[in-house]
Amino acid sequence: MAISFKRLLIGKPLPTEHAEHERLTKILALPIFASDALSSVAYASEEIMAALLIAGTAHFTLTPWLSLAIVVLLGIVVISYRQTVMAYPNGGGAYIVARDNLGEIPAQAAGASLLVDYILTVSVSVSAGIAAINSLLKVYGHNIDNQIVPLCVLSIIVIALINLRGVRESGAVFAFPAYSFILLMYALVGIGLYRLLVLHSLLPVHSAADYQTAKLLSEGGASGETATFGLFLILHAFASGCTALTGVEAISNGVQAFKEPASRNAAITMSWLAFLLGTIFMGVSYLAVQVNALPPDAVINPADGALGETVLSQIGIAVFGKGGLYLTLQIVTCIILILAANTSFAGFPRLCALQAQDGFLPRQLNNIGDKLVFDNGIKILAFFSILLVIIFKGSVHYLIPLYAVGVFLSFTLSQAGMVKRWLRLKTPGWQFKAANNAVGAIATCIVTIIFGVVKFSHGAWVVVFLIPALIVLFLRINAHYRSVAKQLSLQTYRPRQGWRHHVLVLAPDIHQGVIPALQYARAISEDTKAIHVSIDPNREKRVRERWTLWSRGIPLQILPSPYRSLAEPILTHIKHLREVEPRSLITLIIPEFVPEGFWAKLLHGQAGVMLHLRLRSVPGVVVISVPYHIKALVELNADEEAVAHSDNIHQRIPTRAPEGQPFITIEGSSNGMQPKEPVS
């Protein structure tokens, strides 16, 4: 049943040979790799303003200038990353570059940072996507503030299921929404600038009075306090805006997906991406200030606790009006954000698998599921991103301080790795390339430190402590796997000589269910002993009486059990055998009922299963359950009723145990009345 439910959700399994990759042209590759980076314009300008709002709206004019600084940083990063793309034609994510050039700990640091940021990308993107739809509905008089968290969770589950079904990232699926988004954003910026600068018809969305008194809801907004304006605040706003850069490294992971010449095509696509991202981001930041837009967490009227619309939505209304173009903008924005989350569902499991192959994450993360995807990674990503959405109530603003710290740390490590690589290889022109990457490494390193300081108390401390903790965990996991490899290595193996094999068969009763176990015991060894744990004196008596007839020549030993435990006397007996003969391997054969159907199972004690579980962890012991399948109900005629009853399977409980005679051994009749049938 569990399997058929899985089939319904995930579909039929795919054979291994289907694992192929399409090679993409630049036009088709751009939308796949760009959605993550481009989608961040939906919230980056807004987050700069939210940071500045702490000191009041007066400093909003800094927004375009901070955006410009971020675009400059984008240029540095992309120039630096182009070199990575050229150097790693089979994909050069930060983890691989750090591993190949910097060693174990930096590689695991890059891995930890990226894993954390993949999770945050899903949470932030989905939250921003739902915020876009929420803004749209608010404009038309609806409000889904209370449904944000369930909608985010549902979206993540749907994305995870699509990925578990193994739907491949197809250029065609991404192309339409991504190019629509690019076109719409250019239309927004272009028409906006035209109306502002030429027609002078762009009206502000908030009145000057409202605008001036607006406060941030989360930091003393209602109480009217404002933070002092200064360098710290500017850096905080800059750091918040740097989330625009998340995702630009995606192309470096996927160079092998491009048509040949892959590296060149990837580098060109990366430049396109940087141009698109830079111009749209600048335009949005400029227009946001011009139309008096306010971040959704801003409050004008303290009595009204409702969230406002997103900044992009406010610009959309100011530029397009509340018509079809605005509606399209919001829907396409939501789609591109969901697609951005989707790219993490490709990246996170792939990185997990890479780290698992290297022995730094549990091996199971490298298992390929029915649909040729790393399904454990997909499930883990879905779990943690849902957890974050729930903790942070689906608010982009609350999630942002945690975001991008990891990305910038991985940028730094990746580019530092490249510098080390040039210093080592000294290929032609290495000095220029090394300098180039060094600038990138230093710039992103500075930004990472800024992040750690200015966002620390806002939530980045979680990430600052989490990444080292993850590194330690990864190294511990690796130490374990290396220990296991040593213990499994055949190079140091010396075979064990002169071991003796004891076969014990448990005879809890004498009936048809026990006979196969006795047969089995005889089949695997000539030197078998049977044991009966004496819990019920009547049953012990029955076993003893019938033993000679049914024993197949196996001697029987009765183990006393004063506390009515089945396992304890057997454990003691095995311990005793191993003390007498330390070089011995003991096989215990347990006859086990397997009744048909769930209800019938409830009607039978699970003593055999319990005993199996208890003994399986004892070294030097092999436990075998010999199953005896029985039907839940069979037709009984009157004669058979009599047979069943006379067999005395049902009988009263004893009120008192007889005087115990410990360790009775009854020799089985090796020339018993039953023919010894061959089973082997």
> Residue 475, interface with a copy of itself (CB under 8 A)?
no
* From candidates 10, 546, 553, 672, binder to a copy of itself by CB under 8 A: 546
- Rounded Cα distance between 24 and 105, Å, is 34
Sign of the Cα pseudo-torsion (101, 113, 367, 612, in order): positive
538 binds a copy of itself (CB under 8 A): no
Residue 430 CA to residue 412 CA, distance in Å, equals 19
Within its chain, how far is the Cα of 79 from the centroid? 32
DSSP 227: P
Collapse the DSSP code of 494 into the 3-class scheme (helix H, G, I; strand E, B; otherwise coil) and give the result: coil
Among 481, 555, 557, 664, binds a copy of itself (CB under 8 A): 481
Binding flag, residue 565, a copy of itself (CB under 8 A): yes
558 scored as a contact of a copy of itself (CB under 8 A) = no
Give the nearer residue to a copy of itself in terms of CB position, either 115 or 184: 115
Q: Closest separation between CB of residue 625 and a copy of itself, Å?
A: 7
Q: Determine the Cα–Cα distance for residues 213 and 53; give it in Å rounded to an integer.
A: 10
CA–CA gap between residue 550 and residue 560 (Å, rounded): 22
Restricted to residues 12-31, the positions that interact with a copy of itself (CB under 8 A) are: 13-17, 19-20
By CB under 8 A, is residue 626 in contact with a copy of itself? yes
Residue 515 C-beta: closest distance to a copy of itself, Å: 7
Q: H helices within 140-215, ranges in order? A: 148-164, 171-193, 208-213
User: Which residue lies nearer to a copy of itself by CB, 371 or 573?
Assistant: 371
Q: Which is nearer to a copy of itself, 213 or 584 (CB)?
A: 584
Question: Which span (267-275, 301-309, 427-435, 498-506) binds a copy of itself, by CB under 8 A?
Answer: 498-506
Q: Which amino acid is at 258?
A: F
Quote the CA–CA distance of 277 and 248 in Å, as a whole number: 9
- ω into 261 cis (within 30 of 0): yes
Residues 342/163, Cβ–Cβ less than 8 Å: yes
Among positions 515, 567, 571, 664, the unique one binding a copy of itself when judged by CB under 8 A? 515
Q: Interface residues for a copy of itself in 657-676 (CB under 8 A)?
A: 657, 674-675
Residue count (the chain): 680
- Binding to a copy of itself (CB under 8 A): which residues in 351-390? 353, 357-359, 362-364, 366-368, 370
C-beta of 322 vs 501, nearer to a copy of itself: 501
**Nearest-angstrom CA–CA distance, 668 and 96:** 67
Q: Under rule CB under 8 A, which residues in 265-294 are in contact with a copy of itself? A: none
Work out how close the CB of 591 gets to a copy of itself at its nearest, in angstroms, rounded to a whole number: 11
Tell me if 281 sits within 8 A of 188, measured CB to CB: no
Residues 602-621 contacting a copy of itself, CB under 8 A: 602-605, 616-617, 619, 621
Q: Tell me if 331 contacts a copy of itself by CB under 8 A.
A: no
In angstroms, give the least distance from the CB of 288 to a copy of itself: 45
* Whole-number Å distance between alpha carbons of 563 and 504: 22
Give the binding-site size for a copy of itself (rule: CB under 8 A).
108
> What is the Cα–Cα distance from 607 to 568, expressed in whole angstroms?
13
204 or 560: CB nearest a copy of itself: 560
Q: How far is the CB of 592 from a copy of itself (least distance, A)?
A: 8
Smaller CB separation from a copy of itself, 141 or 675: 675
Q: Is residue 10 involved in binding a copy of itself (CB under 8 A)? A: no
Query: First CA to last CA across the chain, in angstroms?
Result: 36
